[in-house]
Amino acid sequence: MSDIPPLFHSLEHDEPFKKCLTCERDFEELDEPFNITKVFKGPECVFEYAICLSCKKDTFESFSEESRKRLRAFSEDNPRLAERRERLAESQDHRDWTAECAQCGLPLSKLKDYSIACMGFGHHMIFDPYPLMVCSDCEQAAQKLLSKSTRDQWDKFIFDNFDGPPADALKPDGVPMLV
């Protein structure tokens, strides 16, 4: 295990994420992992959040069954995940794990817009399949798998949990969802 690197700290608060976006439980006291997601448009981080796995699961379960099935298949049928598991087994450097899109394999150096996500537990980062990076094209492909009701559900989640509409900054694609 390694500490959560500054790349995955909160840009807004200029320190590590401290609590879950949704239930507001403190990560230090939590006996379960959490996810941190940051969305980049060019060099700028335009959106960020950290959510515990229970809340993430609740959100996922609010999606339509069809969307859940498709999202699961999208991530589980991805042969790249097994390939990087083997190749990066020895690495605890987040830069290795986020060097290319986990879906299509395009290198970060060739990308402008992308998202990164990691999994934390306390101060530590848990490896495989996180940390990972997904390019905006692959995010949009995943978004297209979702039913209208699921997209509405996700928009509601964003609306309920963020001050102001960060989604507007990310139009026309909305806020990408990492699974």
Residues engaged in binding Zn ion (CB under 5 A): 20, 22-23, 52, 55, 101, 103-104, 135, 138
d(CA 156, CA 154): 5
Q: Report the residue number, 22 or 67, with the smaller CB distance to Zn ion.
A: 22
User: Smaller CB distance to Zn ion: residue 135 or 177?
Assistant: 135
Alpha-carbon distance of 107 to 160, in angstroms, equals 34
Residues 6+ apart with CB under 8 A from 130: 35, 97, 117, 118, 119
Q: DSSP class of residue 99? A: S
Residues 95, 105: contact at Cβ < 8 Å?
Answer: no
Compare residues 55 and 170 and give the one whose CB is closer to Zn ion.
Answer: 55
The token pair that represents 152 in the structure block: 């509405």
In 3-state terms, what secondary structure has residue 18? coil
Question: Token pair of 33, please?
Answer: 């992992």
Task: Pick between residue 101 and residue 125 the one whose CB is nearest to Zn ion.
Answer: 101
Of the pair 6, 105, the CB lying nearest Zn ion is at: 105
CA distance 95 to 101: 12
